[in-house]
Every structure is written in structure tokens, then in C-alpha cells.
Amino acid sequence: MTAVPVLALRGIRRSFGPVEVLHGVDIALHPGEVHALIGENGAGKSTTMKIMAGYQPPSEGDILIDGQVTRLASLHEGEEAGIVMIHQEFNLAEQLTVEQNVFLGRELRRGLLADRAAMTRETQALLDRLGCAVSPGARVSELSNSDKQMVEIAKALSRRARVLVMDEPTAVLTHTEAEVLFEQVRVLRAAGAAILFTSHKLDEVRRISDRVTVMRDGAVVHSGPTADISEDEMATRMVGRDVSVLYPPRPATPPQEVVLRLSGLEVPGHVEALDLDLRRGEILGLAGLIGAGRTEAMEGMCGLRPARMTALEIEGKPVSIRRPADALAHGLCYLTEDRKLRGLLLDKGLRENLTLQALWKFGRVFVDTAAEERALDEAITTFDIRAGDRRVRAGNLSGGNQQKLLLAKTMLSEPRILVVDEPTRGIDIGTKQQIYAFLRELAAQGHAIIMVSSEMQEVIGLSDRVAVMRRGRLAGVLEGPAVSEEAIVRLAMGIGAGPAAARDSAGAGAARREEA
């Protein structure tokens, strides 16, 4: 590690109006080093990174490049200085192609004309380097989230950055894609780049970083070599409390009363002949590889996309669901995986977002804003929504607080059956612990919950049963001792779940035949 950092922040403070969100932050990035920045949602990480990259100016303190105090007035000046940021939220022009996004604003030219052939070749080389099969000519709006993340990374690599700031780069990547990214990080580190890496996955932090800085409530509470701090110590410093017991205990007696029975669900192009049952007071994990059809199945069941089903019974009564309002009328509610684009109105306040789905509770002709404010008071307390000012726009909340607001909004419509899709994606470990406790408490109150999750430990740690999908079909249901990472992976890959799971599936099948 060289003595002079390529980029450093010294005594950085940042205020938004009267609220100070950063309190004297010091951090230094050195060439050939991966420096992890971790903390709860709302700890100040995103603001710190934006100041590093020139997106926001500090209110006080200094930015130093190669030891010299510098002023970065814009992201353009940051990029001119060799600092490139990969955003957690995609910064792509959806209607342009991959190649156009990679070279947007700095197109290669041959004379007065854009050199499309050269840009296509360079884009293809970057995508090949990342192991990404997307075509340079593909329109970004048609790509999956994981492919969009790869395009963001390709765009950053094309800029040959001295400093690469990576904000949750693996949040939407598969395990294989994350491994490709880590290899690129190692290559960049060996080439002398300084890399700032943020992730809520502490095992990734442990694997990839040389140093780690922990932030809490806008201040640095620890900084040092990664080898000197364990994952448990990282988590404790992040949240200021013990989080070693991440998952709440399950009920001693497994729930048995079926409240939802789904038969023959078909979602064109995604799901075939899916049967599921859900019990009162349980959390049913829905697992599978990316592309297995989990989200599409739940959206189809809840009326969010075209679907057919042989039968759907809720609490023993046949129901027909063609649109989300039908589902809500039957006490069935879907909490989307995409809180920013589909879950919340980011330019509206907390009150408007909270009550939007349940406006019927606050007046028929005129909305009772005083009643809405009381509901917001209760939601802030119940779901621990942390906002410096309750008038703040939802888009200015941290990811964890946005997710808690979305959960509060969903529960205000009083569903009896709740489908939660990727409930903790991009959320810190402390907020995860809170959301797990919320979901377990809802189940204890008699709600029935289907949880779609790509995090294996989350599925195993929180679910009472696990239904595994593969290529649009149900591959098997695991319960009790049969639930294991190996059994889930085997079902997801179509190679069976092993003897214990087979016995469990046979027992479940016998019980169903007996019931019939």
C-alpha cells in the first residue's frame, strides 16, 4: 500500500437543510487495494460515495486526490479525475442499446461520424470479459436486472478508472455472475486501481476486501484491515447491538390449517401447472434459480399479469382474481420486489405512499389528512421507519426505510394472506433482522405468508416449509428436517432432493391423497 492515497475524504460533513447526515467522515483509498464501506441503510454510505465521485459537494471538509485538496463540482469532474461510480440503482438509458449506453456522451468517432463498428467491437470485448452473453445491440429495457448490472460494470470498465466506487454491485447478480465480478475486481486491483466496495453481504466483504470501514449514524465507527475483524464484529459495529441471532424462532407446532389452495396455475411463457397450498400462520418460502418463474407465478396469482388457473380457494371458498383489486378484496396482497419502480411513489411523501393502497379508510370524497397523519405516526412506530423529517420524499429514504414503508403500506390494507417478493434485497443486516421479526410476528398473529427469496440462508432460516420451483413447475416441497441447502439446490437443478426430502414429499403426498 502506497503512503499517499489516490483519493481521500478528510473531516467531511454534509447537511440537507438543518439535518446533518455526515459527521466528520475520514476515509482513504489506496492504489491496488479493495476498501469495503459497510453500514446500515441510512448510515451515510451513499452520501459518502456521492461526495467521493463528485455527485454532491460536502458542506465541510476536504477531498484529496493524490494528496492535494481538490474540489469536485460535478460527476463529470469526478470522471475527469479518474473516479467512476457504479450505482446501486441503474443509471442507464432504457430505450438505448447496450453499446449506446456504454459510450453515451463519449462516442468514438471517425471524422465527423460516430464509429459504430469500433464501439460495437469494444462493447463486445467488455461483455466477453465479464462473461455476459448480451448483444451490444440489445435494447436495455429488454434486459434482466442482472444483465443491466453487467452493462453498468462494462460501462465503468470502459472508462479505465483509477478509482472505482461500487455501490452494492452484487445485489441483483447470480452467484456465477458475482464470481465473474470478483475476478474483475481482482484484475483491477492487480492493475493498481483503488476500489471502494459496498455490500450488505458480509461474506463478500470478507472475501474481496483488504480494508473495511464501518459507518453508523453518519460517522465512522471502525476502520482497519479486514483480516482483523470477523463478520459478527462487523455486524455488531454496524448496528450497535448483537445480531448473531438473525432469525426469530419458529412456532413449536407447525401450522396445519390450509387457507389458500392454488391448482393448475399457468402464466404464459413462465409457469406451467403449478399447485400450491398455504397454511394459516406459516411462512412458506418459494425458492428456485433465477428464471424458475417464482415472481411470475406470484404476480399471476395476484392479478398482476395474465394467468389462468384451474382453481383458487381462499379459506375454503372458490375465488376469481383477474386484477390486483380482486386479490385485495379477498385479503390477498403482493409486496413487490421492485420497491422503487413499482412499490413506492418516490417523489411523494411518506403519508401519501402509506395510505395510497387503502384510501377507502380515510374518506370517500375528501381525504381525512389528520387521520392519515395518525396512521403515519403508528406506522413509523410499529415499523421503525427512520426519517429525519416526516415530510421527506420517499425517494430520499434509505433502502431499508423504503422497504419498511412499503411493508407498512401493504399491511394498512389489512391483508390476511401476504406475498413478499425479495423482502430484504439490498438491505443491511440490522434492518433484515427487523423485517424477519415483523414477518414472524405477522405469522404469529394468523397471517399466511409466501416469501419469494433468492437468499438461501433467508429461505432456510425463516421458512416453515419451502416450495422449490424449476423451469416454471413445482419441483418439490420440503418441511422440517428435510429443509437444507443441499435439498433445495438438488430440487432447483432437477436432480432430486435426496432420501430425507423424498420421504417428506411422500408423506405430504399421502396426506393430500387422504384429505381428498
DSSP codes joined into one string, 25-42? EEEEE-TTEEEEEEE-TT
State the total domains in the chain. Answer: 2
Give the pLDDT confidence score for residue 13 in this predicted structure: 95
* pTM (two decimals): 0.65
Per-residue pLDDT, averaged over 342-360, amounts to 87
Look at residue 251 and tell me if it is in a domain.
no
Give the pLDDT confidence score for residue 138 in this predicted structure: 93
CA–CA distance from 239 to each of 195, 206, 216, 408, 430 (Å)? 24, 18, 7, 22, 6
Give the pLDDT confidence score for residue 419 in this predicted structure: 96
Per-residue pLDDT, averaged over 432-450, amounts to 94
The continuous run of DSSP H or E covering 105 comes out as: none
Q: Are residues 446 and 495 in the same domain?
A: yes
Q: Are residues 169 and 266 in the same domain?
A: no
Please say if the pLDDT value at position 165 is more than 60: yes
Q: Are residues 270 and 413 in the same domain?
A: yes
Look at residue 477 and tell me if it is in a domain.
yes
Look at residue 507 and tell me if it is in a domain.
yes
Q: Are residues 215 and 278 in the same domain?
A: no
Q: Are residues 441 and 502 in the same domain?
A: yes
Tell me how far apart the alpha carbons of residues 377 and 371 are, in angstroms, rounded to a whole number: 10
Of 212, 239, 266, the one marking the end of a domain is 239
Taking a C-beta distance cutoff of 8 angstroms, is the pair 439, 284 a contact? Answer: no
Taking a C-beta distance cutoff of 8 angstroms, is the pair 181, 207 a contact? Answer: no
Identify the residue whose cell numbers are 453481504: 201
Look at residue 315 and tell me if it is in a domain.
yes
Nearest to 331 by CA among 448, 450, 418, 415: 415
For residues 466 and 498, which has the higher predicted lDDT (pLDDT)?
466
Give the pLDDT confidence score for residue 510 in this predicted structure: 36
Nearest to 262 by CA among 456, 450, 482, 452: 450
CA 71 from centroid of its chain's CA atoms: 33
DSSP codes joined into one string, 39-100? E-TTSSHHHHHHHHHTSS--SEEEEEETTEEE---SHHHHHHTTEEEE-SS----TTSBHHH
- 1 burial type by CB count under 10 A (0-12 exposed, 13-18 middle, 19+ buried): exposed
Q: Are residues 203 and 263 in the same domain?
A: no
Look at residue 178 and tell me if it is in a domain.
yes
Give the pLDDT confidence score for residue 243 in this predicted structure: 63
Give the pLDDT confidence score for residue 87 in this predicted structure: 76
Residue range 76-110, pLDDT digits in tens: 888 888 898 887 667 788 889 999 999 988 888 88
Q: Are residues 223 and 273 in the same domain?
A: no
Look at residue 247 and tell me if it is in a domain.
no
Per-residue pLDDT, averaged over 140-148, amounts to 81
Position 227 confidence tier, pLDDT thresholds 50, 70, 90: very high
Taking a C-beta distance cutoff of 8 angstroms, is the pair 85, 76 a contact? Answer: no
Identify the residue whose cell numbers are 430440487: 491
Look at residue 206 and tell me if it is in a domain.
yes
Residue range 53-63, pLDDT digits in tens: 998 999 999 99
- Mean per-residue pLDDT over the chain, rounded: 87
Which residues does residue 452 pair with via DSSP β-bridges, in sequence order?
286, 421
> In angstroms, how far is the first alpha carbon of the chain from the final one?
69
**Residue 122 is part of a domain; what is its CATH number?**
3.40.50.300
Please say if the pLDDT value at position 497 is more than 70: no
Give the pLDDT confidence score for residue 438 in this predicted structure: 93
Q: Are residues 229 and 262 in the same domain?
A: no
Please say if the pLDDT value at position 192 is more than 80: yes
Position 242 confidence tier, pLDDT thresholds 50, 70, 90: low
Give the pLDDT confidence score for residue 238 in this predicted structure: 86
Tell me how far apart the alpha carbons of residues 34 and 207 are, in angstroms, rounded to a whole number: 10
Look at residue 180 and tell me if it is in a domain.
yes
Q: Are residues 296 and 392 in the same domain?
A: yes
Residue range 257-311, pLDDT digits in tens: 999 999 999 999 999 999 999 999 999 999 998 789 999 999 999 999 999 999 9
For residues 457 and 34, which has the higher predicted lDDT (pLDDT)?
34
Q: Are residues 12 and 150 in the same domain?
A: yes
Q: Are residues 195 and 327 in the same domain?
A: no
CA 446 from centroid of its chain's CA atoms: 27
For residues 285 and 148, which has the higher predicted lDDT (pLDDT)?
285
Which residues does residue 114 pair with via DSSP β-bridges, in sequence order?
109
Taking a C-beta distance cutoff of 8 angstroms, is the pair 25, 61 a contact? Answer: yes
Q: How many residues does the chain have?
A: 516
Give the pLDDT confidence score for residue 183 in this predicted structure: 84
252 three-class SS: coil
In which domain, by residue range, is 53 found? 7-239
Backbone angles phi, psi at 422, to 5 degrees: 50, 65
For residues 322 and 338, which has the higher predicted lDDT (pLDDT)?
322
Please say if the pLDDT value at position 185 is more than 90: no
Of 179, 204, 239, the one marking the end of a domain is 239
Q: Are residues 346 and 399 in the same domain?
A: yes
Nearest to 398 by CA among 346, 475, 351, 454: 346
Tell me how far apart the alpha carbons of residues 354 and 333 are, in angstroms, rounded to a whole number: 15
